[in-house]
Amino acid sequence: MKEIVIDSPKDLAQVAEEVIASLDGRSVVAFFGPMGAGKTTLISAIMEYLGSADTVTSPTFALVNQYYTASQEPVYHFDFYRINSLSEAFDMGYEEYFYSGDLCLVEWPERVEELLPEDVMVVRITPLADTTRQFIIE
């Protein structure tokens, strides 16, 4: 477990680097945190760290966005905030993504927690002040 506290969003590159360095063969990362904590902003920093030229936006209505790293590896960004039942995750074929070996970055994982792989990496984001955030990487 690692803890990082930053005082400004411009320090997110450090967190992004640590998330990627901590993967240890895992490919699904679950981001826990309240609304407005900075989950999408951190995912954007991770994609920037991976050299992506893609614009990162929250897939709130689409459920999943696909981006590419600098080496053209696919990365899938999920937002399960608006799903009403696990059947919606089954209908969109979550298992094809989660078990593909490709990097999957998951917002609102608590909505599909029982579907997450056993070896999921967890990132917990806690707002401490206006721009100060605590990140726990498990």
- Provide the residue-wise pLDDT of the chain in tens; the chain has 138 residues: 999 999 999 999 999 999 999 999 999 999 999 999 999 999 999 999 999 999 999 887 889 999 999 999 999 999 999 999 999 999 999 999 999 999 999 999 999 999 999 999 999 999 999 999 999 999
Provide the pLDDT for residue 62.
Answer: 84
Question: Any idea what the CATH number is for the domain that residue 22 is in?
Answer: 3.40.50.300
pLDDT given at position 66: 97
Report field, pTM of the whole predicted structure over 0.85: yes
- The reported pLDDT for the residue numbered 70 is 97
**CA-CA distance, 34 to 14, in Å (whole number)?**
21
Interacting residues of 61 by C-beta distance below 8 A, sequence separation 6+: 82
The stretches of 27-73 forming alpha helices (DSSP H) are 39-49
Complete DSSP assignment for 70-102: TT--EEEEEE-TT--SHHHHHHTTHHHHHTSSS
Cα(72)–Cα(114) distance, rounded to whole angstroms? Answer: 30
Neighbours of 73 (CB within 10 A): 14
**pLDDT given at position 59:** 86
Domain total of the chain: 1
Tell me, what's the pLDDT at 60?
A: 79
* 66: containing domain: 2-137
Quote the pLDDT of residue 61: 80
Q: The sheet that has 74-79: what strands, in order across it?
A: 2-6, 133-137, 121-127, 28-32, 103-107, 74-79, 64-68
